[in-house]
A and B are shown apart, each in its own frame.
Chain A
Amino acid sequence: NAGVMQNPRHLVRRRGQEARLRCSPMKGHSHVYWYRQLPEEGLKFMVYLQKENIIDESGMPKERFSAEFPKEGPSILRIQQVVRGDSAAYFCASSELAGKHYNEQFFGPGTRLTVL
């Protein structure tokens, strides 16, 4: 029973390039969340998606960042024209809500993005 998968685990980009981070939720989970962890800080919510829908993107920067969760395939967090301040660990989590009154999220191992 595979957990949440993220790839790549480490990603190095130069300023101005694009970064694509992928997340495959746990089997049976249809809810995906992206969080960012800056060095020496806690996790900050970015976006919550269900299949083909963005439910809450209140934590997402208005420019350069986008996310999708297509009907088929993994969820993608895309960062265009990366800057050094984008260097962080990006974590994906998934959950399954049906029949549960609490929302337990299962986290992937994260993608560590370094912008040179």
Chain B
Amino acid sequence: GDSVTQMEGPVTLSEEAFLTINCTYTATGYPSLFWYVQYPGEGLQLLLKATKADDKGSNKGFEATYRKETTSFHLEKGSVQVSDSAVYFCALSPSISTGNQFYFGTGTSLTVIP
């Protein structure tokens, strides 16, 4: 079945450091891929998405490229800020657009220290 495997945390970085959070997936067909961010005490917010192979999603300095050959969708940011401290979830939506569930990774907690 479809699934997402996400790098375990927690991750602690200094401000302005480079961030990578690994995400790989297993799916049939051509799923859409998403990164969601959850700030403390809040719900999930869509950070970025990619709907087909080689697409690059980007938002707020974060980027992720949909790599079909390696079944990956790693999240990167060149210079993190304290305000980026949150939990990041990689998610997959199956290729059939009939309203199926999302499959989420377990989340990676990021703490950025000044």
Contacts and interface: CB of A to CB of B under 8 A. Distances in A.
A104 B99 contact: no
B70 interface: no
Interface stretch (B12-20, B72-80, B103-111): B103-111
A97 B44 contact: no
Given A41-B106, A42-B106, A48 B100 contact: yes
Contacts of B103: 45
Given A43-B89, A102-B97, A108 B32 contact: no
Nearest to B49: A104
A-side interface mostly: strand
B16 to A, nearest CB: 28
Interface in A97-111: 97, 100-110
Interface residues of A, number: 29
How extensive is the interface on chain B, given as a class? 20 to 34
B62 interface: no
A106 B46 contact: yes
B27 to A, nearest CB: 13
Contact of A48 (B34, B89, B94, B101): B101
B43 A91 contact: yes
Contacts of A108: 43
A114 interface: no
Contacts of A59: 101
A101 B100 CA distance: 12
A110 B105 CA distance: 18
A75 interface: no
9 contacts: A42-B105, A56-B100, A97-B97, A103-B97, A105-B93, A106-B46, A107-B43, A108-B43, A110-B42
Interface of B: 6, 32, 34, 36, 42-46, 49, 51, 89, 93-94, 97-107
Nearest 7 pairs of A and B residues by beta carbon? A102-B32, A45-B101, A42-B106, A109-B43, A107-B44, A103-B93, A43-B104
